[in-house]
Amino acid sequence: MDLDYIINHLGETRSDYFNAVSPPIIQSSNFAFETLNDFREAIANESKATIYTRGNNPTVRILCRKLAALESAENALVFASGSAAIGMAVISQVQSGDHIVCVQKPYSWTTKLLQNFLARFGVSHTFVDGRNLAEIEAAIQPNTRLLYLESPNSLTFELQDLEACVSLAKKHQLLTCIDNSYASPLYQKPIEYGVDIVIHSGTKYLNGHSDVVFGVICSSNAIIEKIFHGEYMTLGGIMSPHDAGLVLRGLRTLPLRLERSSSSAEKIATFLSTHPQVESIVYPGHPSFPQYELAQKQMARSGGLLSFYLRADTIEVSEHFFHQLERFLLAVSWGGHESLVLPTAAFHRIPGQADSPLPWNLFRLYIGLEDPDWLIADLERAFQSCLNLEIRQKTIPDRKS
């Protein structure tokens, strides 16, 4: 289906609401019926009828239709957060005694879902290096039900070969599920590779304005129906109609925002890749990325997230570099208008906590909608300031000399 049609028209029956060009936000918890027979019919058809907003709401439904189409899926359900979507998708496919093979270093709360939550209900898991197909296959047990992917992940961006993973999963009769938040549905379409369930933290690009937290599951009608009648209605982690209205507005500019963010990130990746103060960059869209060819094969582009290792002998140098940045906000998440920085040094020296296993010289940048040259100037100023730092001059020989 045509992208412009999905974004501007799909699901919007304007004649139902005075031909308004923006769909109304139907902020109603329940819906009334004229006759008993109408009510009975709705109950018989609960996943499609509007009875109660924990099940269906017209504004939320428009959003689901658009998101399903963006992912080339038959259907979709939205949730109050990306984590809720991940939780519901995984829980819906397993039962006590089952086993999940999951790529290592998925989103931190996905790790906790498997380690702390599902383990309590007798569902076990094995983390594997998703770049290594043999390791994935070796982890499959007779009770494995699900192969959980996150490609790329959101810090160092390791990929899985989607085609190969799907064919392995089919060979062992496993379902495949992927967190596709990094790439967005515009830059990677896992369902076209045969992945069964695609999840997004819609908080990121899909909403795109850093003012809504939501998640989505895109899948077949059969899987979505199962989740609707099970986890969705039972656990009730729904998205509000008001938030759905905000996301419908955000979606109108998704292609423009992604284009801007990606081309700026590409420019900044090029700038960083040759900078003497940078050890290395990590960006699937740059030829230096170890899985560059795979990224080229299965992703249209790499979006606005990239990371780099600063040349820093001490954590103080990383801290100093961070403190010089004026145009990047220190924050988690990504996908909004504003550029962000997440230094891994932040996960060291946390009072009362052991130091993170992550190195302290890694910086994740999210490149927002600002002028990339304005951001580059900020980075350059911070690099120069590190060069001038007394501690650095004493401890690090100038790479150019």
Shortest Å, Cβ 83 to ligand PLP? 4
Does residue 152 have a cis bond before it (omega within 30 degrees)? yes
In contact, 68 and 76? CB cutoff 8 Å: yes
The nearest distance, CB 81 to ligand PLP, in angstroms, is 3
Q: Give the phi and the psi of residue 216 in degrees, each rounded to 5.
A: -140, 145
If the CB atoms of residues 58 and 368 are measured against ligand PLP, the closer one turns out to be 368
Residue 158 vs 378, nearer CB to ligand PLP: 158
Burial of 220 (0-12, 13-18, 19+ CB in 10 A): middle
Nearer to ligand PLP, 295 or 389 (CB): 295
- Taking the complex as a whole, the smallest distance from the CB of residue 82 to ligand PLP amounts, in Å, to 2
Q: Which phi and psi (to 5°) does residue 309 adopt?
A: -100, 120
Q: 209 or 275: whose CB is closer to ligand PLP?
A: 209
For ligand PLP, the closer of residues 203 and 277 by Cβ is 203
195-211 burial by CB neighbour count: b if 16+ within 10 A, else e? bbbbbbbbbbbbbbebe
The three-state secondary structure class of 23 is: coil
Rounded to a whole number of angstroms, the minimum distance from the CB of residue 216 to ligand PLP is: 10
- The residue whose Cβ lies closest to ligand PLP is 82
The residues of the shown chain that bind ligand PLP, judged by CB under 6 A, are: 81-83, 107, 154, 179, 181, 201, 203, 213, 215, 333
Which residues on neighbouring strands pair with residue 125, listed in sequence order?
100
User: Least Å distance between CB 102 and ligand PLP?
Assistant: 13
Nearer to ligand PLP, 200 or 320 (CB): 200
Tell me the closest approach of the beta carbon of residue 257 to ligand PLP, in angstroms: 17
Give the C-alpha separation, 98 to 106, whole Å.
20
115: CB partners within 8 A, 6+ apart: 125
Is 226:212 a contact under the CB 8 Å cutoff? no
Beta strand extents in 165-246 (DSSP E only): 175-179, 197-201, 215-219
Q: In the complex with ligand PLP, which residue's Cβ is closer, 154 or 339?
A: 154
Q: Are 279 and 159 in contact (CB under 8 A)?
A: no
Q: How far is the CB of 79 from ligand PLP (least distance, A)?
A: 8
Task: State how far the Cα of 78 lies from the Cα of 236, in Å rounded to an integer.
Answer: 11
Residue with tokens 């700038």: 271
Strand 329-330 with 340-343, pairing: parallel
Minimum distance between the CB of residue 215 and ligand PLP, rounded to whole angstroms? 5
CB-wise, 83 or 339, nearer to ligand PLP?
83
